[in-house]
């Protein structure tokens, strides 16, 4: 089993739609969690950290469920510019970071 698993997609949604991605992780001792965004042929960039209580940043909401070992990312009112690959990242121990393979999102007009 992979340490971090994501549905690769692609998710194709119209502008304005709400879309959600899930990510599961295998190491129950994982310490912290992040969502990164990677545009085509670009480096990954931090989108948001994921906190235990869940957190929101504008149209983006991240949730963590430690009991079930999954993380989610919800995007509301999706924009064309949201088209990218979303990477789930888990810090399993002292900055030992593991990346999921990513979920590809395409937002269409």
Partner 1 sequence: GAGVSQSPSNKVTEKGKDVELRCDPISGHTALYWYRQSLGQGLEFLIYFQGNSAPDKSGLPSDRFSAERTGGSVSTLTIQRTQQEDSAVYLCASSLDSGSPTDTQYFGPGTRLTVL
Site string for partner 1, 89-108 (x = CB under 8 A): x-x--xxxxxxxxx------
Q: Is 72 in the site for partner 1 (CB under 8 A)?
A: no
Please list every residue from 17 through 46 that binds partner 1, using CB under 8 A. 31-32, 34, 42-46
SS3 content of the chain, % helix, strand, coil (to 5): 5, 55, 40
Nearest distance, CB of residue 21 and partner 1, angstroms: 14
Interior/surface letters 44-58, b for 16+ CB within 10 angstroms, e for the rest: beebbebeeeeeeee
Q: How far is CA 55 from the centre of its chain?
A: 13
Read off the DSSP letter of residue 77. S
Nearest distance, CB of residue 59 and partner 1, angstroms: 20
Which residues lie near partner 1 (CB under 8 A)?
31-32, 34, 42-46, 49, 87, 89, 91, 94-102
């Amino acid at each position: 089993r992979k340490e971090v698993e994501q549905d690769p997609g692609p998710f194709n949604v119209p502008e304005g739609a709400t879309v959600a991605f899930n990510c599961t992780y295998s190491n129950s001792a994982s310490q912290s969690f992040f969502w990164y965004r990677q545009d085509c042929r670009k480096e990954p960039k931090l989108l948001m950290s994921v906190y235990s209580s869940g957190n929101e940043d504008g149209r983006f909401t991240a949730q963590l469920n430690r009991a079930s070992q999954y993380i989610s990312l919800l995007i509301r009112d999706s924009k064309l510019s949201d088209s990218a690959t979303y990477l789930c990242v888990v810090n399993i121990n002292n900055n030992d970071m593991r990346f999921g393979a990513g979920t590809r999102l395409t937002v269409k007009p």
